[in-house]
Amino acid sequence: MIDRRLFKIPGIWPRIMMIALLTLVQAVTIVIQARALSIAVVQLWELKPLATIVTPTAVFVVSFLCRHLITVAQNRSFYPFVAETTGKMREQLMTKLFRLGPSLVEKTGTGNMVTMALEGIDKVQTYLMLIVIKIMDMGITPWVILLYIAFMQWKEAAFLLIIYPVIILFMIILGLAAKSKADRQYAGYQRLSNNFVDTLRGLGTLKQLGLSKRYAGNVYSVSEDYRKETMATLRIAMTSTFALDFFTTLSVAVVAVFLGFDLMDGKIMLLPALTILTLAPDYFLPVRNFASDYHATLNGKNALQAVLDVLETPETTDRDELKQLAWHDDSSIKFDDVSLTYEDADQPTLSHISFDVHGFQKVGIIGASGSGKSTLINLIGGFLTPDEPGHISLNGQKLPHLSQETWQHNSIYIPQAPYLFHATLRENICFYQPDTADGQVKAACEKAGLTDWIAELPQGLETMIGEGSRGVSGGQAQRIALARAFLDDSRKVLLFDEPTAHLDIETEAALKEDMLPLLDDRLVFFATHRLHWINQMDYVLVMDHGQLVEQGTPAELAGHDGPYTQLRAEMGGLHALD
Amino acid sequence: MHSIKQTFAHDTWVMPYLRKYKWLLVLVLFLGMMTFLSAAALMFNSGYLISEAARRPGNIIYIYVPVVLARAFGIARPVFRYSERLTSHNWVLRIVSDFRKKLYQAVEAKASAIKQTHQTGDILSILADDIDHIENLYLRTVFPIVIGWLLYLFIIIGVGVFSWPVALLMALILAMIVLVMPLLSVAVNGTREFKQKQIQSNFYTSLTDEVLGLTDWVISGRYNDFMKLQNKPIDEIATLRRKDHFFQWWRGFGVQFFFLLAVLTLLIWSGTFFTASKGMANWIAAFALTLFPIVEPFLEVSQGASEWPVYRQSIERVNQLSNDQPQTVAQTTLTEPVSDLNVNHVTFHYPDDDKIILKDVSLNIHRGEKIALLGPSGTGKSTLLKLLLGDQKPTVGIVTINGTPVSELQQQRAQLFGVLDQQPYLFDTSVMNNIRLGNLNATDDQVKAAVAAVELKSLIESLPDGYDTEVQESGTRFSGGERQRLSLARILLQDAPIIVLDEPTVSLDPITERQLLDTVFKVLHDKTIIWVTHHLAGIDHVDQVRFLEDGVFDMQGTPRALYRDEPRFRKLYELDTGKRS
């Protein structure tokens, strides 16, 4: 219910004390309110004139209003703190995201990450608001009321005291029973609820198979199964609430009957009896409120846990080992027996990779799918960290990994589908260098072959592109990435990961022509299974099952019957037309 | 009020179901009302009980009835509550089943067999969420409000039995709680909800944008810009939310205030009304205490009302979906075997866009012929496929099979066309069930034969569960090439004469691609094939190649003739094989 880390939030203790104080005052107003109302009723009961109840009624009104004003005050004074705390949390989350980079997203999933930063933090906010105030309420209010009742009539107080743990006990027992049953049902239940979205997404396929009309019946019957499962779970889950409801309501009834008998025996007067009766529901109110918000708090607790877990993920350290770097034709990068194992894998994805590349070499990385080409590119880009430090060196300096800020500021990464931001075309092109003069942007667009397309666009460079805006074809997206690269001449390391694999052949041919000038005077790592690119490379790394099985210039490799010649034969095995 | 009327003007999603499950609905409302009436009655009865007991009547028999009633009401409230919650959830889930079916049918009528944009998936999730919203509309808004109103009526009538002027005063005071404050909530929350939705969706977009483009952000090193981007929406949302919270807190206080007025009214009235005798005065405590348990449902009325704007959007969206359904065309059936497929001078543009996608395109495909369609993205390849299948109708011209328009053959479509696209969908069930979707009457042996034909026999049989292996969500259990082969097996069972291949190899590596294409053309050797492809691997399998450029065919012929006569084709072909740079 409560995450211990909650109490480590800076500045939370003074707030908790303040809430406690307000709750205490509120509990007193509850007692006064009950007392005053009872006095007024008793006066009337004794058939005294209306004038006699003016004072007690006034006290009742004031204490009643105070009680509810304090609720507002509690919320209002606590909220700014909660808002600030969760705001900071969101900021820290984003900073973490930036520091950990794509590897974090890969682990948690894009959707989860966004949901966590948006709804997750909102849930944490609700949780913080609820948990502190409700717990204070539960910890203070009933006992003040009980103490007051005990002063008047110890028997009823004793009954109320004893029934309290019984209620909690029953709630826990029934709650646990419900939970274990619910857990058992959860797997099947989850599947049923996913089934609907699953079906909608597969609608195209169902239509192709001519089953789509008939499937409506299936949707209905699966949903009915879902209903039955849900009801079975709910029936048990609600039993816990029922127990709470049952005991508290019945307790009030029992107290009323007790008081009735005591009054008949003359052991108590009407005024204290009526006060006790009025207070009895308020005695149980905090625990009922707590139970009714149980699910919101549970969700909030899970959200808080997820957020804190991300915040506590260790970051890659030593990102500034490499003090300075400007890539020249005498610079060099060396991999010496580098291995990489993913966190949850037992086999290394890359093992014992060694190569030595220098200056403005163009390095092709080829291999079947799953051979580790992308992983190697990610390792070179510094998005992944090798198993052991010190196996990679740049210009002779041994480095723990390539997640060096200076190295990354020297590189450009172009994947199969370059990401286009939801922004104007200009902002997308100038992404690495936001403040670039118009002339330079136009020149870069010209080089990337974008000029004609831009001329067709309604607002030229200021047209919005990216998700939900104007569609950009795969070829144009690549050209935008090229323009980015042309624009930033200081970045001399180019990393390509299958940039043309999914393009149609005509687009690919045209794109290639514009891409070639970019490769000049740069260090290029080019992972691809499009064979024609090999003709532009002056060094080739052949990957197979995470190992570097062959390396050399294309001519050397073609010269003997090794993995390179085999791979080429398999990949290019078109049945010849000529 | 006006907006509520508008929302339900052409409603087919909320009202019909209220009517359909009328009696269950009455039961829910009855149980809900009885819950709070029992609670009120418990306090009423207890007040009377102790007042009467305080008179110290000589015999216990005088308080016997109230004592029994106290216990009865004490048990009745939780029992009513429990049954109300079970009944209402059951009722709502029943409706959800109907909703899902209805939503499915509405989406189905418009769905295309050719993959649309990647966003389709998101829209579907939104619609699925809408169903959940409507579920909550009942549980959190409709039920509490109606129950609140019923209690309101009950109180007014109850007091009215004794005194009409007091009943009128109570009616006015409590109307503040059950009518004015809810309306105020809708008004205030409506505009705020709209604004918040807008900011939130912007924030969602920009956040998704940042997460998806994280690699570029990291490389760019623009940390400050990265952080700055979210500050504005975060601040705006925080401001709105603060206002929202303040409003809710003060509204809660407001409800309590009017509630206090109601309690005072009852207290003072009973103090002046029940003065005839000491026995009568016992009722004073009863009336003074009885209202307290009612404050809980009254608080829920405003809360429920303030959630209405969220639900309204959902209702409008689903209503719009089912109100704007495509027109249907009278259907016929083809009895003779397919001999030719004809695209006759077809021009096409979408109704809401002037851009001509296809310009006077003609194509005649004979039985058993195999055609490859190439061209850059956006030149109308997918549109041409949609026209062939009848998912779209040509603006000018006609598409026919054996001379019958395809739009009239839609009922027979699955017997005429088989489709293999980029990402064929595998359902979250076993391999056997997935393949059998091609032909529900296929025997186990026929399914196994299809699996063998697509060369997956040894793989499937090597799995621990064999043909009963679950493919998992979206088929993640299998690799891209394997998924395509499973779908191909499905098409084999379907046994349609015309097969549409919509870039089935685009996400595969060259080795997998070549192997898949070999299998595809081997097992489908006797079919008519229209194959949209992005490059020339496997092009020797087809009889004819057509290049679509800007909505017209600009290069066509047999692969060999094109290679011989067209330098452009030769250049592309050699690039594809890696011979040319």
Q: In DSSP terms, which residues pair with B347 in a beta bridge? A: B396
The Cα–Cα gap between B10 and B133 comes to: 19
Put simply, the chain A residues between 205 and 234 with a CB less than 8 A from any chain B CB are 205-213, 215-217, 219-220, 223-224, 226-227, 230-231, 234
A369 to chain B nearest CA, in Å?
6
Nearest partner of A379 among A359, A353, A358, A418, judged by Cα:
A353
Q: How far is CA A137 from the centre of its chain?
A: 31
Closest chain A residue by Cα to residue B256: A68
Could you count the other beta carbons within 10 Å of the beta carbon of residue A438? 9
The Cα–Cα gap between B12 and A384 comes to: 53
Location of structure tokens 């090999």: A534
What is the structure's pLDDT at A27? Answer: 96
Put simply, the chain B residues between 277 and 316 with a CB less than 8 A from any chain A CB are 278, 281-282, 284-285, 288-289, 292-293
What is the structure's pLDDT at A191? Answer: 61
Structural domains present in chain A: 4-311 (1.20.1560.10), 321-410+492-578 (3.40.50.300), 419-489 (3.40.50.300)
| CB-based contact B580 A207, cutoff 8 Å | no
Location of structure tokens 């006006």: B2
Could you count the other beta carbons within 10 Å of the beta carbon of residue B150? 17
B509: which chain A residues are within 8 Å (Cβ-Cβ)? 368-369, 529, 571
A351 to chain B nearest CA, in Å?
22
Give A1-56 pLDDT, tens digit per residue. Answer: 667 788 888 888 999 999 999 999 999 999 999 999 999 999 999 888 888 999 99
In order of A188, A227, A238, B473, the CA distances from A183 in angstroms are 10, 17, 15, 21
Nearest partner of B486 among B455, B462, B464, judged by Cα:
B455
The Cα–Cα gap between B562 and A1 comes to: 72
Over residues B272-294, the mean pLDDT reads 88
Give B482-496 pLDDT, tens digit per residue. Answer: 999 999 999 999 999
- 3-state secondary structure labels for all residues of B511-555: HHHHHHHHHHHHHCCCCEEEEECCCCCCHHHCCEEEEEECCEEEE
Instruction: Output the six-digit token pair for B34.
Output: 């009885």
- 3-state secondary structure labels for all residues of B277-327: CHHHHHHHHHHHHHCHHHHHHHHHHHHHHHCHHHHHHHHHHHHHHHHCCCC
Instruction: Assess B164–A contact: CB distance below 8 Å, yes or no.
Output: no
Measured in degrees and rounded to the nearest 5, phi and psi for residue A119 equal: -70, -35
- Coil vs helix vs strand at A578: coil
Instruction: Assess B20–A contact: CB distance below 8 Å, yes or no.
Output: no
Count Cα neighbours of B474 within 13 Å in the Cβ-side half-sphere. Answer: 8
CATH pick for B340-577 out of 3.90.79.10, 3.20.20.100, 3.40.50.300, 3.10.450.50: 3.40.50.300
Closest chain A residue by Cα to residue B438: A209
- Best B50, B474, B479, B577 residue to mutate vs chain A (most A CBs within 10 Å): B50
Put simply, the chain A residues between 162 and 191 with a CB less than 8 A from any chain B CB are 191
B143 to chain A nearest CA, in Å?
17
The Cα–Cα gap between B314 and B132 comes to: 9
For the residues of B338-373, what is the DSSP string, one character each? P-EEEEEEEEE--TT-----EEEEEEEEETT-EEEE
Identify the top-confidence range among B297-311, B312-326, B410-424, B450-464. B450-464
Put simply, the chain A residues between 373 and 412 with a CB less than 8 A from any chain B CB are 381, 383, 405, 408-409, 411-412
For residues B326 and B410, the answer to whether their CB atoms sit within 8 Å is: no
For the residues of B139-164, what is the DSSP string, one character each? IIIIHHHHHHHHHHHHHHHHHHHH-H
Equal CATH topology for B2-323 and B340-577: no
Put simply, the chain B residues between 427 and 446 with a CB less than 8 A from any chain A CB are 427-428, 437-438, 440
| CB-based contact B578 A246, cutoff 8 Å | no
Query: In chain B, what percentage of residues exceed pLDDT 70?
Result: 95
Put simply, the chain B residues between 82 and 121 with a CB less than 8 A from any chain A CB are 82, 85-86, 89-90, 93-94, 96-98, 100-101, 104-105, 107-108, 111-115, 117, 119-121
Amino acid at B320: Q
Closest chain A residue by Cα to residue B50: A260
A405: which chain B residues are within 8 Å (Cβ-Cβ)? 221
| CB-based contact B218 A577, cutoff 8 Å | no
The pairing of strands A392-394 and A332-340 is antiparallel
Q: Where are the domains of chain B?
A: 2-323, 340-577
Spell out the alpha helix ranges (H) of A488-540: 505-519
The Cα–Cα gap between A159 and A150 comes to: 10
Over residues B145-155, the mean pLDDT reads 93
Name which residue leads in pLDDT, A333 or B21. Answer: A333
CATH architecture of B2-323: Up-down Bundle (1.20)
| CB-based contact A91 B82, cutoff 8 Å | no
- With b for 16 or more beta-carbon neighbours within 10 A and e for fewer, the B349-360 pattern comes to beeeeeeebbbe
Name which residue leads in pLDDT, A11 or B250. Answer: B250
End-to-end CA distance of chain B: 70
B418 to chain A nearest CA, in Å?
6
pLDDT at B136 over 50: yes
Count Cα neighbours of B556 within 13 Å in the Cβ-side half-sphere. Answer: 14
What is the structure's pLDDT at A211? Answer: 82
| CB-based contact B425 A202, cutoff 8 Å | yes
Nearest partner of B262 among B238, B232, B289, judged by Cα:
B289
Instruction: Assess A354–B contact: CB distance below 8 Å, yes or no.
Output: no
In order of A148, A161, B40, B447, the CA distances from A31 in angstroms are 8, 17, 21, 76
| CB-based contact A57 B264, cutoff 8 Å | yes
Q: Is the predicted ipTM greater than 0.90, yes or no?
A: no
Instruction: Assess A365–B contact: CB distance below 8 Å, yes or no.
Output: no
- With b for 16 or more beta-carbon neighbours within 10 A and e for fewer, the A208-245 pattern comes to bbbbbeebbeebbebbbebbebbeebbbbbbbbbbbbb
Q: Which of B52, B86, B210 is nearest residue A238 as measured by Cβ atoms?
A: B86
pLDDT at B64 over 90: no
The Cα–Cα gap between B478 and B365 comes to: 35
Give B501-547 pLDDT, tens digit per residue. Answer: 998 888 788 888 888 999 999 999 999 999 999 888 889 899 999 99
A259: which chain B residues are within 8 Å (Cβ-Cβ)? 49-50, 53
Put simply, the chain B residues between 542 and 581 with a CB less than 8 A from any chain A CB are 547, 559-560, 563, 571-573, 575-581
What is the structure's pLDDT at A369? Answer: 80
Instruction: Output the six-digit token pair for A395.
Output: 């210009």
Which helix H or strand E contains A364, and what residues bound it? strand A362-366
Written as tens digits, the pLDDT of chain A (578 aa) is 667 788 888 888 999 999 999 999 999 999 999 999 999 999 999 888 888 999 999 999 999 999 999 999 999 999 999 999 998 998 999 999 888 888 778 777 777 788 788 888 888 888 898 889 999 999 999 999 999 999 988 888 999 999 989 888 887 777 677 667 666 665 555 566 667 767 777 788 888 888 888 888 888 888 888 788 778 877 877 777 888 888 888 898 889 888 988 888 888 889 999 999 899 999 999 988 888 777 667 778 888 888 888 888 888 788 888 888 888 888 999 999 999 998 777 888 899 999 999 999 999 999 888 888 989 999 999 888 899 888 999 998 999 999 898 998 899 999 888 888 888 899 999 988 888 888 899 999 998 989 988 888 888 889 888 765 556 788 888 999 999 988 888 889 999 998 888 888 888 888 999 899 999 899 999 999 888 898 899 999 999 989 999 999 999 998 888 898 888 888 765 556 65
| CB-based contact A41 B285, cutoff 8 Å | yes
Location of structure tokens 């249907």: B328
